[in-house]
Amino acid sequence: MLSALRPQVILSALKIGGVAAVLMIPSTVLRAEDKPMERTITVSAAGTAEAEPDRARITSGVSTEAETARDALTKNSETMSKIIGELKAKGIDAKDIQTASFNVEPVMDYSKDGQPPKVRGYRVSNQVIVLVRKLDQLGDVLDNVVSAGANQIQGLAFEVSKEDTLKDDARKEAVANALRRAKLLAAAAGTEVGDVLQISEETTSSGPVMYAPRLAKAAASSVPIETGTSTLEARVTVTWALK
């Protein structure tokens, strides 16, 4: 609805035959009233789906110390080269082996009270992330890595390679849960749910399933690994109009 028309006067200068004339032109300004607030309901909900992991990532590495940085680096490089060689011998493709971190740092001696610390050597650390695409090889890969000289294993993450597709069932469940709650709340308030106005999905990952094996000398049999089941979660936020 429009408010009442309010007259205004606009001054306009014209030149007619060299004489300036001022015309008074009445005009109107239309002002729209504020629209009434739209009645909506917004609900966030989650849905889940179960999936079996079909691959894993190992974060492993070597830490070596020596009196000089050069000696520490040489020892570290020799061991890491052996580890990578063992991985490739197990059928791990080079593209599935990626250096994650490399550090060289002094090792300080703080044993003498009241005396400034002294450098007693150097430590070199080198870590790689290994993607194991065949889970039936995982135990043997862990054994071989440790046997080859790895003295750091930060953990193991199980993954579902087709996670995004498998999460579709979780997305459907999340929307259904949101609609159910929206109808419940609307009915309690004496109204009904109308058309969907907006849908958004949270993109945060539920994270991989972590497993941290203990370091030990390689045994006759491979490390026992249980992959378990991963829970894939989807979260949505939906806004409906209220009738």
Q: In the chain, what is the straight-line distance between the N-terminal and C-terminal CA atoms, in Å?
A: 22
Q: Which residue has the tokens 């929206």?
A: 182
pLDDT of residue 35: 64
Percent above pLDDT 70 for the chain? 77
CATH number at 55-159: 3.30.70.2970
Question: Of 5-19, 113-127, 165-179, where does mean pLDDT reach its minimum?
Answer: 5-19
Inform me whether the pLDDT recorded for 131 exceeds 80: yes
**Three-class secondary structure assignment of 199-210:** EEECCCCCCCEE
For 196, residues 6+ apart whose C-beta sits below 8 A from its C-beta are 238, 239, 240
Q: What is the pLDDT of residues 66-98, one digit of tens each?
A: 999 999 999 999 999 999 999 999 899 999 999
Inform me whether the pLDDT recorded for 42 exceeds 70: yes
Element (H or E) spanning 177, and its range? helix 168-188
Inform me whether the pLDDT recorded for 21 exceeds 90: no
Instruction: Put residue 156 in one of left, alpha, beta given phi > 0 → left and psi -120 to 50 → alpha.
Output: beta
How far apart CA 15 and CA 50 sit, in angstroms, is: 83
Q: Which residue type does 201 have?
A: E
Residue 198 in 3-state DSSP? strand
Which residues face 49 on adjacent strands? 232
Question: Span 25-50, mean pLDDT?
Answer: 74
Q: What is the pLDDT of residues 224-241, one digit of tens each?
A: 777 788 889 999 999 999
**Three-class secondary structure assignment of 49-102:** EEECCCEEEEEEEEEEEECCHHHHHHHHHHHHHHHHHHHHHCCCCHHHEEEEEE
Inform me whether the pLDDT recorded for 25 exceeds 80: no
Domain boundaries, the chain: 40-50+165-204+237-242, 55-159
Which candidate, 168, 181, 160, 176, places its Cα nearest to that of 227? Answer: 160
What single DSSP character describes residue 32? B
Residues 63, 151 contacting (CB under 8 angstroms): yes
pLDDT of residue 210: 43
Instruction: Tell me how crowded residue 56 is: count the other CB atoms within 10 A of its CB.
Output: 24
Mean pLDDT value across the chain? 82
Question: Span 9-19, mean pLDDT?
Answer: 41
Angle between helices 69-89 and 138-147 (to 10 degrees): 150
Q: What is the pLDDT of residues 161-220, one digit of tens each?
A: 999 898 999 999 999 999 999 999 999 999 999 999 999 999 765 444 444 443 333 333
pLDDT of residue 62: 96
Inform me whether the pLDDT recorded for 149 exceeds 90: yes
**pTM for the predicted model, two decimal places:** 0.63
Inform me whether the pLDDT recorded for 45 exceeds 80: yes
Q: Which residue has the tokens 């890595």?
A: 145
Inform me whether the pLDDT recorded for 29 exceeds 60: no
